[in-house]
Amino acid sequence: MMTKTIMKTFTGTLLASGLAATSVAAQESRSVAPQYMQRVAPALAQYTDEVLFGEVWPGDGLAPRDRSLIVISALVASGKAPQVRSHARIGLENGLTPVEIGEILTHLAFYSGWPNAVQAAEVVDEVFAAQGIEPVAASEATGGEAIALEPEGEVAREKSVNESVGPISLGLADHTNRVVFGDLWRRPQLSPRDRSMVTVAALIASGQVDQLPYHLGRAFDAGLTAEEAGAAVNHLAFYVGWPKAFSAVPVLRETVDSRN
């Protein structure tokens, strides 16, 4: 299974060899791709080793922790709970804390649905147990000083929700204002930048590009750079597919241009 140490070792080997051909035994010994992949789809195994984990994961433009953050988010949003297992382990190695991983699932319950979050929570629980990580304390998951959101922006957002959603679904407007933005987005268990990145990754994974401009704006306001956003879209292409990544590019371009 993929680990940070294997990533570094494998990348170093590739750089040292200049991707030169070696014996089959040597290739297998340094391969990140699982044996079943090598047997069934050797070309996929090669792309996995040389491109995904040889170029993308160790690439510039986005920190390893951020890469784990968006990959876990995309997998949960896509309903791919089994794949969360290995990436929860990688995320811990890349600097995500157990509390932060739990908060990613909590946040995504609202942005990708409760079933996806619940399935992922079961998998993460098994990962934590296997690594001897104690259950997350309620005080860690619920405590801390609430994050203050920008007042004028919140007034405008709440007014927009009340006017556009309220007449159709009063309950949805109420829960959006009172729970999602009145509580969830203020929770200190993830930084505003992290929470925005989780949301953006989930929207791209779900193909919900119409929701991207607002949340990209929040992400940039919280400190995400255009270079990091571009690197994130590139990374997500490998986990959600090229069509969804390409659909996000025009929105990202327009958002960056409008801010410039």
Segment 68-86, tens digit of pLDDT: 999 999 999 999 999 999 9
pLDDT at 214: 96
Using the Cα atoms of residue 202, residue 205, residue 208 and residue 209 in order, give the sign of their dihedral.
Answer: positive
User: How many CB atoms are located within 10 Å of the residue 112 CB?
Assistant: 25
Cβ within 8 Å of residue 165, ≥6 positions away: 172, 173, 176
Cβ within 8 Å of residue 149, ≥6 positions away: 181, 185, 186
Give the predicted TM-score (pTM) of the model: 0.88
Residue 138 pLDDT class (50, 70, 90 cuts): confident
> By C-alpha distance, which of 63, 64, 86, 62 is closest to 75?
86
- What is each CA distance from 246 to 63, 78, 224, 241, in whole angstroms? 22, 17, 20, 9
Burial of 67 (0-12, 13-18, 19+ CB in 10 A): buried
pLDDT at 239: 98
47: left (phi over 0), alpha (psi -120 to 50) or beta: alpha
Burial of 210 (0-12, 13-18, 19+ CB in 10 A): exposed
Task: Note the helical H segments in 80-137.
Answer: 81-93, 98-112, 114-130
Q: For residues 91 and 25, which has the higher predicted lDDT (pLDDT)? A: 91
Task: Note the helical H segments in 131-221.
Answer: 138-142, 151-164, 170-175, 192-206, 212-221
Residue 143 pLDDT class (50, 70, 90 cuts): confident
Q: Is the pLDDT of residue 12 over 50?
A: no
Which range in 15-19, 54-58, 139-143 is most confidently predicted, on average pLDDT?
54-58
- What is each CA distance from 175 to 46, 155, 158, 212, in whole angstroms? 47, 16, 11, 20
Q: Is the pLDDT of residue 196 over 70?
A: yes
Tokens 């009172």 locate to 178
Structure tokens at 59: 């690439």
Residue 31 pLDDT class (50, 70, 90 cuts): confident
Element spanning 260, H or E:
none
Structure tokens at 25: 């035994």
User: How many CB atoms are located within 10 Å of the residue 30 CB?
Assistant: 15
Burial readout 88-102 (b: 16 or more C-beta within 10 A, e: otherwise): bbbbbbbebebebbb
Cβ within 8 Å of residue 194, ≥6 positions away: 69, 100
pLDDT at 139: 86
Residue 21 pLDDT class (50, 70, 90 cuts): very low
Q: Is the pLDDT of residue 11 over 90?
A: no
